[in-house]
Structure 1
Amino acid sequence: MSFGSPNPYGQPQDPQPNYGYPQQPGYPQAPQGVPPQQGYGYPQQPGYPQAPQGYPGYPQQAGYGMQQPVYANWGQRFLSKLIDVILYLVAYLPLAGIGVAAKVPALALLGFVAGIGVLIWQVIQEGRTGQTVGKKVVGTRTLKEDTGQPLGGGMAFVRQLAHFLDGLPCYLGYLWPAWDAKRQTFSDKVCGSIVVKD
C-alpha cells in the first residue's frame, strides 16, 4: 500500500465501469467504452424517416384513407333537400298562415323569423358536421373535396349563396349531379365541396 494509490484499502479495483447500474449476479458487465442500452422512458435514437403517405403530388384525403369516396347520387341529394325544405316550411307556414288569416302581422313576422332560424341552424350544422337534417336522414354528408373534412360555417354559408348559380341556366346546375363524375352541382364546383354517402 502506498500513498497516492487510488485504492487505499487494497480491494481489487473493477476495471470495467458499470455506468451507474447495479451489478447483478450472473450477468456480465457491459464492455468498456460501450454505452448502456436505453430502456423505456429514454428518448429513442432516430431511425429511418417515415415514408410519406399517399402518392407525391396528390393531397392525402383525410377521412378517406386510401379509398375513393362514394359520391351521393342525384336522388339522395334531391331527397335530402326536400326534407330540409319541408322542415323550413313546418317552422314558417303555420305561424305565418295564422298571422295572415287572423290579420295579426306579429304572428306572420314570427313565422318568418322561425323559418330563418331553421335555415341558419341548418347551415351551421352542415358546416360543423357536414349534415343537415335531410342529409342525416338520407345518410349523406357535405365535405371539402381536398381534405375530406366538413366545410365550416363560413364556407357552408357561401355554398348556400352559390346555389344561385345552379338556378341560372334553367336550373341545370341542380340536375348536373345526375351525370357529373363527382356528382357535383355548379355551387359544389365553385366551393370545392362534394356530397358523399355517410
Structure 2
Amino acid sequence: MYSTQRPRLRTGEAASQGTQRKDRAPRASRVLAALVDALVVLPFGVLLGVVQAHKESSGLYSGTSVGAAVASVLLSASALAVFVWNVVVKQGRTGQTIGKEVLKIKLVQEGTGLPVGNGRVLLRHVAHIDAGKRSRAVVVRA
C-alpha cells in the first residue's frame, strides 16, 4: 500500500533533499556572512598587492629586496592567522565568525545546538564536508 504521508527524513537529510528547515539560516545570510569574513582579510591582500607592485615597479622583482620579501611573508602569514582565528578558532568556540556575528547566525551541532568545535570546523573547511550530511552541523539564526 502507498502512503500519502511524506517519508520522515533522518537528521541532516533535510538539507540534502532541498528542504528548508524553519531554524536554518537563509542562504543569502550565509553568503553575506562569507563576504563579510572575506572583508576581514581584504586589507592584508591590498597591502600585499601594494608591496608586490612596489617590488615590480622599482625593479626589485628579482628578489634582491629583503625588506619587500619580509613584508610579503609577514602580510601573508598575518592574513592566514586572522583567517584561521576567525574561521576555525572563533567559529569553533562560539559558532560565529565575524560575518556570522554581524548577520546574527551561527554554526551549531544539529542535535545539541552547541558550537561544533575547532576540529570539525577545520575539517569542514579543509575537506569541504557538507555540514548537513556528515558533520551534523547547521547554520541557524542566532
TM-score w.r.t. structure 2 length?
A: 0.71
Aligned to 2:16: none
In structure 2, how many angstroms separate the alpha carbons of the residues matched to 1:194 and 1:156? Answer: 11
1:42-70 residue CA offsets vs partner (Å, 9 max, x unmatched)? xxxxxxxxxxxxxxxxxxxxxxxxxx861
Q: Which runs of 5+ in 1 are unaligned?
A: 1-67, 166-185
Quick check: 1:94–1:111 contact (8 Å CA) kept in 2?
no
Aligned to 2:32: 79
Aligned to 1:197: 141
Deviation, structure 1 residue 102: 2.2
Q: Give the secondary structure class of the aligned counterpart of 2:25.
A: coil
1:60-103 residue CA offsets vs partner (Å, 9 max, x unmatched)? xxxxxxxx86110100000000100111222x213312221222
Q: Give the secondary structure class of the aligned counterpart of 1:189.
A: coil
Aligned length, in residue pairs: 111
Relative contact order higher in (CA < 8 Å, ≥ 6 apart): 2
In structure 1, how many angstroms separate the alpha carbons of the residues matched to 2:135 and 2:93? Answer: 16
Partner amino acid, structure 2, of 1:83: V
Aligned to 1:135: 100
Q: Give the secondary structure class of the aligned counterpart of 2:77.
A: helix
Partner amino acid, structure 1, of 2:138: I
Partner amino acid, structure 1, of 2:122: F
Q: Give the secondary structure class of the aligned counterpart of 2:134.
A: helix
Answer 1 or 2: which has greater helix percent: 2
Quick check: 2:92–2:117 contact (8 Å CA) kept in 1?
yes
Quick check: 1:71–1:195 contact (8 Å CA) kept in 2?
yes
Larger deviation, residues 124-133 vs 93-102 = 93-102
Identity of aligned residues (%): 32
> Relative to structure 1, is the Cα distance of residues 69 and 136 closer, same or farther in structure 2, using a 3 angstrom cutoff?
same
Aligned to 1:94: 46
Aligned to 1:159: 124
Deviation, structure 1 residue 187: 4.0
Runs of 4+ in 1 over 4 A off after TM superposition: none
In structure 1, how many angstroms separate the alpha carbons of the residues matched to 2:131 and 2:76? Answer: 26
1:1-38 residue CA offsets vs partner (Å, 9 max, x unmatched)? xxxxxxxxxxxxxxxxxxxxxxxxxxxxxxxxxxxxxx
> Relative to structure 1, is the Cα distance of residues 188 and 111 closer, same or farther in structure 2, using a 3 angstrom cutoff?
farther
Quick check: 1:96–1:112 contact (8 Å CA) kept in 2?
yes
Cα RMSD for the two superposed structures: 2.2
Quick check: 1:76–1:138 contact (8 Å CA) kept in 2?
yes
Q: Which runs of 5+ in 2 are unaligned?
A: 1-20, 56-67
In structure 2, how many angstroms separate the alpha carbons of the residues matched to 1:105 and 1:187? Answer: 38
